[in-house]
Amino acid sequence: MEQRTRRGRTPRAEILDAAGELFTTNGYATTSTRAVADAVGIRQASLYHHFAAKDDILDALLAETIATPLELAASMRDLAEPPATCLYTLAWFDVRQLCAAQWNLGALYLLPEVRSERFAVFRLRRDELRGHYEAFAGQVIAEAGVAGIPGAEALPFRLVETVISIRSDEGAAPEYAERTIPDATLRMLGWTGDLDEAREAAGRLLDRLDARLPLG
Amino acid sequence: MEQRTRRGRTPRAEILDAAGELFTTNGYATTSTRAVADAVGIRQASLYHHFAAKDDILDALLAETIATPLELAASMRDLAEPPATCLYTLAWFDVRQLCAAQWNLGALYLLPEVRSERFAVFRLRRDELRGHYEAFAGQVIAEAGVAGIPGAEALPFRLVETVISIRSDEGAAPEYAERTIPDATLRMLGWTGDLDEAREAAGRLLDRLDARLPLG
């Protein structure tokens, strides 16, 4: 008899939740699949039914951190919305989901293991997300029409991911980030429009795309 | 007889260099002091002469990443320079040193170990550096006189540290960052002055303080 100690929708979700906690709290290298199984309250053999190896668990956790923003970005690509609205929407949604996630999984991006071949697909997907950010940002710069900062289109993606450091330092998701970071992504591109309007337009676009903001 | 395999100014510097490589390449938890000693070409007993434990090596490496920007920030605090010049100078210097460091040591900030009591002093020092950034940024916002983005004073420090993620993703220090990031720190605070002038003023201030920019 197993005594499952985590409440989750599925055994798979319970394993991911326990692993997310252990990897971010104790470290990835030092956490065994046995420790994950123990934390869930299942046998190691039951865990292997869902994940063949520890790196498969890490891969699934990493994939979670980019899946919904990637989907949102792809759904906005062919709309006729102003690029500032698209960038604001993506940044807002992404900051919110990085803040709302139970564990600060983005802290795992910097693991040496993630630079190995095993995680090449994850890295490609994250590059894809970064590409969406850079495309929207490039369009915002082009529309602003002023001599902007060369290379600035790379920064919105990076600024959004600073949520990870802030969470790590402050021990909690920063409340101000959800407004401050999307606002700043537009301002640093030389965009001088009204930020309240950008936010309202982003809210309407999220409704239209039926993309619910993760609960903050 | 020991066959030291690293070239460094001192045995201590050689140990730090080897540990910096192993911690960032193989991981902190999985690297033993024995492995560090082997990489330097010294006996473990010789290593213990310089560092009593592995966390002392990590602490020394972490301290390196903030020592020179902290010193620079403190030396600017009581000058009558415009805050935009101080913030630009600090961001430029700090981006440059994060890029120029042999190993991407900032990736170690997110280790679970660094949240333990052992590293409380390091965390305090890094908070102090963050405080300098926020003080200069707050003054820039106040001088800009426009309704800025609430909470934006927290972002320049965070944006500078994105060098760490960029290095990790791209495998090398990003050339554009040294100009793009300091420029963006001012723009996102609502500062509308001339960025070329800010950069020239920062260069003059660094000369005056005899703070050499780390070689890029």
**Residue in A closest to B157 by C-alpha:** A162
What's the CA gap between A148 and A191, in Å, rounded?
Answer: 9
Query: What pLDDT is stored for residue B99 in this prediction?
Result: 95
Instruction: Give the pLDDT confidence of A178-191 residue by residue, as tens digits.
Output: 999 999 999 999 99
- Quick check: A25 pLDDT over 60? yes
What pLDDT, in 10s, does the model give residues B84-110? 999 999 999 999 999 999 999 999 999
The pLDDT confidence band at residue A173, using thresholds 50, 70 and 90, is confident
**pLDDT tens, residue by residue, A37-75:** 999 999 999 999 999 999 999 999 999 999 999 999 999
* CATH 1.10.357 domain span(s) along chain A: 54-208
Q: With 60 as the cut, is the pLDDT of residue A140 above it? A: yes
* pLDDT value of position A174: 84
Q: Give me the CATH code for the A54-208 domain, please.
A: 1.10.357
pLDDT digit string (tens) for B23-48? 999 999 999 999 999 999 999 999 99
Q: What is the pLDDT of residue A1?
A: 52
**Residue A95 near residue B151, CB atoms below 8 Å:** no
| Cβ <8 Å between A187 and B183 | no
Chain B residue numbers touching A110 (CB-CB < 8 A): 107, 110, 164-165, 168
**Beta-carbon contacts of residue A64 (< 8 Å; ≥ 6 apart):** A16, A101, A105
Supply the pLDDT for residue A26.
96
pLDDT of residue A200: 97
Confidence of residue A160 (pLDDT cuts 50, 70, 90): very high
Provide the pLDDT for residue A2: 64
- Per-residue pLDDT, averaged over A1-28, amounts to 87
- Name the residue in chain B with its Cα closest to that of A127: B169
Q: What is the pLDDT at residue B2?
A: 65
Q: Does B153 have pLDDT greater than 70? A: yes
ipTM above 0.85, yes or no: yes
State the span(s) of chain A assigned CATH 1.10.10.60: 11-50
Q: Which residues of A touch B184 (CB under 8 A)?
A: 149, 152, 155, 188
Domain with CATH 1.10.357 in chain B: 63-208
What average pLDDT does the structure give for chain B?
A: 93
Residue of B88, B188, B196 for testing the chain A interface, max A β-carbons within 10 Å: B188
Spell out which chain B residues touch chain A, with contact meaning CB-CB distance below 8 angstroms.
24-27, 29-30, 107, 109-113, 115, 123, 149-152, 154-155, 158-159, 161-162, 164-166, 168-169, 171, 174, 176-177, 179-181, 183-184, 187-188, 190, 195
One-letter-per-residue 3-state SS of A96-126: HHHHHCCCCHHHHHHCHHHHCHHHHHHHHHH
- Over 60: is that where the pLDDT of B215 sits? no
Q: Which of B104, B114, B115, B149 to mutate to test the interface with A (most CBs of A within 10 A)?
A: B149
Q: What percent of chain B has pLDDT over 70?
A: 93
Q: How far apart are the first and last CA of chain A?
A: 37
Q: Angle B117-B48-B21 (CA atoms, 0-180°, nearest 5)?
A: 75
Query: Burial of B198 by CB count in 10 Å (0-12 exposed, 13-18 middle, 19+ buried)?
Result: buried
Query: What pLDDT was estimated at residue B204?
Result: 96
Query: Which residue, among B176, B178, B187, B189, would best test binding to A if mutated, counting the most A CBs under 10 Å from its CB?
Result: B187
Domain A11-50 has CATH 3.30.40.230: no
Q: Angle at which helices A120-144 and A155-170 pack, to 10 degrees? A: 120
Alpha helices, DSSP H only, in A101-194?
120-144, 155-170, 177-187
Q: Supply the pLDDT for residue A148.
A: 77
Q: Which residue has the higher pLDDT, A9 or A96?
A: A96
Domain B63-208 has CATH 1.10.357: yes
**pLDDT (average), residues A160-164:** 97
Inform me whether the pLDDT recorded for B129 exceeds 90.
Answer: yes
